Structure 1
């Protein structure tokens, strides 16, 4: 019997309790195997949830799949081993400056390189804009993320130019997914899910 492909979901809950309740329902309905959750309302104290130190990013796994094993965590990122893969969840506040962002990317790069040679997936809200992932504008953070990805040996998984963040002030593409070549070759049907 062929193994079913794993279902991953990446989202930002904007610290909203109602959004987190809806997420829990969606995880069950869609049979999501792994979710990378930026700005959760809270990180449940369960073995299938692991968050970063301030609780700004968390990773969830269904209890039917491999367990999450914490590998690394810092301010704005968490890394877990899930079966043969290492998965990073990332959130970086738009309110911090470029120097802080570059320091953060340095820490994230070191953590990703420590995970080698395991296949790596990095996903989350970078709050960075670049035409490489469909943004209408490129900012200094976007340039820094692109350089970080190249230096870390990760490929961008985002496809198309559908906004990943829609607010009253407008929309943007700031939620990004990157993978090492071994993972990137396995990814099919990456898309932004709208109208949910």
Structure 2
């Protein structure tokens, strides 16, 4: 299964590139944060805010869609292993209390399923994934993910966000440990 996770940051050019690369790379699933436009397809699910999307763009249909009425994340099962995928977007405007509640809802849902893949823009900084410092959101995110049997796929110090000379690593992907043996390609 070929999967792409990205943040379009409401950018038209990024949206155009996504459409081109989806065909070129023959992707099966795309997890999107901050879309430029809403996909005109029946094979997509959105969170309540329309800022997190799961798009089944290949030949694998959704086997089950749930949690699509949450703010900040959407979840769906897809694939032969019935992996439960989560696409997330936690805006930087959330207070630490709101962010904690968002993570509580996310992890409470994810604890009920195995295996899972959780990806998105968490707007959190932590030394663990290459940031210069760990902020309060990063600490809360680390604690929340520690309650699940997941590992972070991001490796190295490749920035996931760059704008006007500023850069960071806020787009993260976590998967059940069982999936890590097959996730490198």
* RMSD value, Cα: 1.4
Kept in 1, the 8 Å contact 2:107–2:144? The answer is yes
> Equivalents in 1 of 2:65, 2:38: separation in Å?
14
CA apart distance, 1:67? 3.1
Q: Which runs of 5+ in 1 are unaligned?
A: 1-5, 190-196
Secondary structure of the corresponding residue to residue 66 of structure 2: strand
Secondary structure of the corresponding residue to residue 145 of structure 1: helix
Q: Which runs of 5+ in 2 are unaligned?
A: none
Secondary structure of the corresponding residue to residue 121 of structure 1: strand
Task: After superposition, give the CA deviation of every residue in 1:53-80 in whole Å (9 maximum; x if it has no partner).
Answer: 1100101122322336312131010000
- 1:52 and 2:30 are equivalent in the alignment: no
> Equivalents in 1 of 2:156, 2:43: separation in Å?
31
Kept in 2, the 8 Å contact 1:10–1:124? The answer is yes
Please show how residues 1-196 of structure 1 align to structure 2 within 5 Å.
Answer: 6-67=1-62, 69-73=64-68, 74-83=70-79, 84-114=82-112, 116=113, 118-189=114-185
> Equivalents in 2 of 1:132, 1:31: separation in Å?
32
CA apart distance, 1:49? 1.1
Number of residue pairs the alignment of both structures matches: 182
> Equivalents in 1 of 2:181, 2:169: separation in Å?
23
In structure 2, the residue matched to 1:193 is none
Secondary structure of the corresponding residue to residue 161 of structure 1: coil
Secondary structure of the corresponding residue to residue 108 of structure 1: helix
Q: Which runs of 4+ in 1 moved over 4 A?
A: none
Kept in 2, the 8 Å contact 1:47–1:68? The answer is no
Secondary structure of the corresponding residue to residue 79 of structure 1: strand
> Equivalents in 2 of 1:51, 1:169: separation in Å?
31
In structure 2, the residue matched to 1:3 is none
> Equivalents in 1 of 2:109, 2:37: separation in Å?
24
Task: After superposition, give the CA deviation of every residue in 1:18-64 in whole Å (9 maximum; x if it has no partner).
Answer: 32122111111111111111000223242221111110010112232
With CA pairs under 8 Å and 6+ residues apart, which has the higher RCO, 1 or 2?
Answer: 2
